[in-house]
Copies of this chain bind each other. A is one copy, B any other.
Amino acid sequence: MTAEPLRVIPLGGLGEIGRNMMLIEQGEDLIVVDVGLMFPEEEMLGVDLVIPDFSYLRAHADRLRAVFLTHGHEDHVGALPYFLREFRAPIYSTRLTDGLIRVKLGEHRLLAEADLRVVAPGEPIQAGVFEVEFFSVAHSIPDACGLIIRTPLGALVHTGDFKLDHTPVMDQHTDLIRLAQVGAEGCLLLMADSTYAEVEGYTPSEELVGEALRNILVNARGRVIVATFASLISRVQQVIDAAVFCGRKVFVTGRSMIDNVQMARQLGYLNAPDGVIAGVEEMRNTPLERLVVVTTGSQGEPTSALTRMANGDHRHITIAKGDTVVLSATAIPGNEQAVYRNVDNLFRLGADVLYNRVSNIHVRGHASREELKIIQGLLQPEYFVPIHGEYRHLVVHARLAESVGVPKGNAFVLTDGDVLEIDDEEARLGDRVPASYVYVDGLGIGDVDQHLLRDRAHLATDGVVVVIATVDKQTGKLARTPELLSRGFVDVEEREDLLEQGRQVVANSLRGAEHYAEFSDINARVRDALSKFLYDETRRRPMVLTVTVEV
């Protein structure tokens, strides 16, 4: 009997960064790997978050058997609150990931509805025809895992986000032995992290960062402030270790950093001797040269603690000469301007600032090319799908795979919504499924569309002008001089003349006609005349809205 085809369906994270989500289905069974969110790009004006398109899953919800989360980063778990409004299934993750999503679901009051199950690497989980096993990987958050997914057709391996690190901070190695065993049994399909598939060589170990931080804390003559990702628990551990080493106290600031540190300590993921972590009062009474501050804001987020310090309006910390600020993170693409604005402002306040371009205080959490080759060598997969990355990363990764042994034509560069069908003879692309961006804006989920974004972009560029034409309902003619109202277009006090002329232009545009049957005629005529006039005068194209009032 020929098994039904296995279908691999990425709904996010392929051809873009973030919003990772993948469906894997065969016959009557469907499982989900990760339910992530993406932060909006520049042109997604006013959008808060972007989540995956659940349409296909909605139509096949009866076949959903389980959800597997590889690790606790927002781009892998952040869309869970939206997912849980519609779907029910057991949600499997390792311990710290579970802790992080409990915090998040608690905030959304969805904890009661979620069937959360903690698993350890190596435990097999049955989900329909699939048997899924987590395996440990090194990444920039503890308890990160990849997945071994056994199917009737063979074993799939999904790496999640990973790198190889032979001297990790919290003993979290990528489990090469387990991967070698799967390779020996035979790997049907490998799906591997492509984020740094462009980067030659090896990603350095976290150990390097530990040394650099310790040197900074030993040598700084004043207070040291370290900014990093709130989820980068291992980095926080390194700061605590360095602080203990040189007798400094640690003050934690920034809402998400405080929450994560507390949760990680409770779950035993952070090891801080008694008395090392200081509250506000103790911090105030400690000499600056005996202090380290750990803070959020490494991405220049506008309301983060570090940005508040850089702007001189943090409640507890006033930056001054003698302070050393360490940005232990790289700027995620799109955040560069905000990050460097903070750096500049901190320098202006007199601090010394160490950041990635001048110091060795961050390593990436993703595998570089030589590491990717090792994974290929251990698994020797029949088919390969590069995952997690923008399109160019996927292309480069697919080429790498073919260069080290994946049969020519068996590396598939998929993008979101593509369907890879595998049976016991071949793999091929099936019909695509919907995978558009679903925008979250305020309470609205999916109601912001391209049309609305185009209007926002238009408003952003040249503002808005509202024309109010009062029309006599008997004669159909203008009853009085039209009014103009504008915002974001010109300085209305300085350009009173322009708006006055605009009123005349509107009036003239309606002169001569006998009677307008339709308001829409009036509106179109007014809009065209006024738009042209304003463009000729200013070379700007404000959005012109016309309102006709009958009197």
> Which A residues form the contact surface with B (CB < 8 A)?
15, 41-42, 45-46, 198-199, 333-334, 336-337, 340, 343-345, 347-348, 353, 355, 357-358, 390-392, 395-396, 441-444, 447-449, 451-452, 455-464, 466, 468, 470, 483, 485, 487-491, 494-495, 537-540, 543, 545, 547, 549, 551
Q: In angstroms, how far is the closest chain B Cβ from the Cβ of A219?
A: 16
Alpha-carbon gap, A538 to B440, bound state (A): 11
Find chain B residues with CB under 8 A from A463 CB: 46, 452, 455-456, 459
How distant is A489 from chain B, measured CB to nearest CB, in Å?
A: 8
- A459–B488 CB distance below 8 A: yes
Which of B345, B347, B461 is the one whose CB lies under 8 Å from A45? B461
Residue of B nearest to A483 (CB): B547
Residue in A340, A451, A464 with the greatest tally of chain B CB atoms within 10 Å: A464
Query: Are B45 and A42 in contact, CB atoms less than 8 angstroms apart?
Result: no
With contacts A487-B545, A488-B456 taken as known, whether A464 is within 8 angstroms of B464 at the C-beta atoms is yes
Count the copies.
2
- Please list the 3 inter-chain residue pairs (A to B) with the smallest Cβ-Cβ separation, ordered nearest first: A442-B539, A460-B460, A459-B459
Contacts of A41 in B (CB 8 A): 337
A446 to chain B, nearest CB (A): 10
Chain B, residue nearest A358 (CB): B198
Query: Are A347 and B549 in touch, CB under 8 angstroms?
Result: no
> A348, A391, A456, A459 — which one has the most chain B CB atoms within 10 A of its CB?
A459
Asked whether B460 lies within 8 Å of A46 as measured between CB atoms, the reply is: yes
A549 to B392, CA, bound (A): 57
Give the chain B neighbours of A460 by CB distance below 8 A: 45-46, 456-457, 459-460
B391 touches A347 (CB 8 A): yes
Residues from chain B with Cβ under 8 Å of A348 in the complex: 391
Nearest B residue to A41 by beta-carbon distance? B337
5 A-B pairs in the complex with CB atoms less than 8 angstroms apart? A42-B42, A45-B460, A45-B461, A443-B539, A447-B491
Q: Which residues of B contact A551 (CB under 8 A)?
A: 549, 551
Contact, CB under 8 Å: A347 / B46: no
A523 to B396, CA, bound (A): 59
Residues of the B chain whose Cβ atoms lie less than 8 Å from the Cβ of A495: 447
Known: A344-B390, A485-B545, A487-B545. A334 touches B337 (CB 8 A): yes
**Is B353's CB under 8 angstroms from A392's CB?**
yes
Q: How far is the CB of A330 from chain B (nearest CB, A)?
A: 13
Out of B347, B458, B491, B539, name the residue touching A449 (CB < 8 Å): B491
Closest B residue to A535 by beta carbon equals B442
A485 to chain B, nearest CB (A): 6
- Taking CB atoms, residues of chain B closer than 8 Å to A442 are 462, 538-540
A452 to B488, CA, bound (A): 5
In whole angstroms, what is the CA distance A222 to B538 when docked? 47
A41 to chain B, nearest CB (A): 6
Alpha-carbon separation in the docked complex, A106 to B464 (Å): 34
Additional 4 contacts, C-beta under 8 A, given A333-B336, A447-B494: A447-B491, A459-B459, A466-B547, A487-B543
The reply to whether A337 and B457 form a contact with Cβ atoms under 8 Å apart is no
Q: Is the CB of A488 within 8 A of B455?
A: yes
A123 shortest CB reach to chain B, Å: 39
Q: How far is the CB of A230 from the nearest CB of chain B, in Å? A: 23
CB distance from A173 to the nearest CB of B (A): 28
Residues on B with C-beta less than 8 A from A457 are 460
Which residues of B lie under 8 Å from residue A340 when comparing CB positions?
Answer: 333, 390, 392
**Across the interface, which residues of B come within 8 angstroms of A451, CB to CB?**
491
Interfacial chain B residues near A459, Cβ < 8 Å: 456, 459-460, 463-464, 487-488
Q: Return A306 CB to nearest CB of chain B, in Å.
A: 15
- Do A538 and B344 have beta carbons less than 8 Å apart? no
Whole-angstrom distance between the Cβ of A391 and the nearest chain B Cβ: 4
Cα distance A460–B358 when bound, in Å?
36
Taking a contact as CB atoms closer than 8 A, the residue among B444, B458, B488, B545 that contacts A538 in the complex is B444
* Pair B488/A443 contact, Cβ less than 8 Å: no
CA distance A337 to B39 in the complex (A): 14
Q: How far is the CA of A41 from the CA of B338 in the complex (A)?
A: 11
* Nearest CB in chain B: distance from A194 CB, A: 13
For the complex, give the distance between the alpha carbons of A551 and B472 in Å. Answer: 10
Of all chain B residues, the one with the shortest Cβ separation from A459 is B459
Cβ contacts under 8 Å, A483 to chain B:
547
A336 and B336 within 8 A (CB) = yes
* In the bound complex, CA of A451 to CA of B392 (Å): 41
Indicate whether A487 sits within 8 Å of B46 (C-beta atoms), given known contacts A336-B333, A466-B547, A549-B468: no
> Once bound together, how far apart are the Cα atoms of A452 and B46, in whole Å?
18
A461: B residues at CB distance < 8 A:
45-46, 456
Would you give the shortest CB distance from A299 to chain B, in whole angstroms?
Answer: 15
Residues of B within 8 A of A396 (CB): 358
